[in-house]
Amino acid sequence: MEEPKPAYFYMSSGYSGMALAKHGTADEVCDVLGCDKPAERSFNIKQVSKSSLSLKSSDLRQVHLCKEHYKEFKKQTKTDRELDQLY
Ligand SMILES: [Zn+2]
């Protein structure tokens, strides 16, 4: 049962997702794996790699974080600093 699919089938399934992924626009998206919320802030990759956040790519210089992941990142880095002071 293999029917040839019309071109618009591919357009509506695969290609629409590609078209929605904007690059180089102001609509930055959170770089945390599995997250597609709008980014609130961006951080240096070195800062973010200290936290346990998994990123979509490790090949970034600037990591964009949404509100939620920014909070999580801040919490984790703050904890790090507090631990450092104990030693
Ligand atoms: Zn996020």
CA 14–ligand 1 middle distance (angstroms): 24
pLDDT digits over 1-59, tens only?
Answer: 677 777 665 555 554 444 455 454 557 999 999 999 999 999 999 999 989 999 999 88
Using a cut of 0.85, tell me whether the model's pTM lies above it. no
In contact, 29 and 39? CB cutoff 8 Å: yes
Number of neighbours of residue 68 by Cβ within 10 angstroms: 13
User: 13-41: buried (b, 16+ CB within 10 Å) or exposed (e) per residue?
Assistant: eeeeeeeeeeeeeeebebbbeebeeebee
- Chain position carrying tokens 């990142």: 73
CA 71–ligand 1 middle distance (angstroms): 10
CA 55–ligand 1 middle distance (angstroms): 10
pLDDT digits over 74-87, tens only?
Answer: 999 876 556 666 55
pLDDT digits over 60-74, tens only?
Answer: 999 999 999 999 999
- Those residues whose beta carbon sits under 5 angstroms from the ion ligand 1 are 30, 32, 35, 37, 66, 69
In contact, 40 and 66? CB cutoff 8 Å: yes
CA 33–ligand 1 middle distance (angstroms): 8
Quote the pLDDT of residue 16: 46
Quote the pLDDT of residue 7: 66
Quote the pLDDT of residue 86: 57
Quote the pLDDT of residue 40: 94
Query: In angstroms, rounded to a whole number, what is the distance separating the alpha carbons of residues 39 and 42?
Result: 7
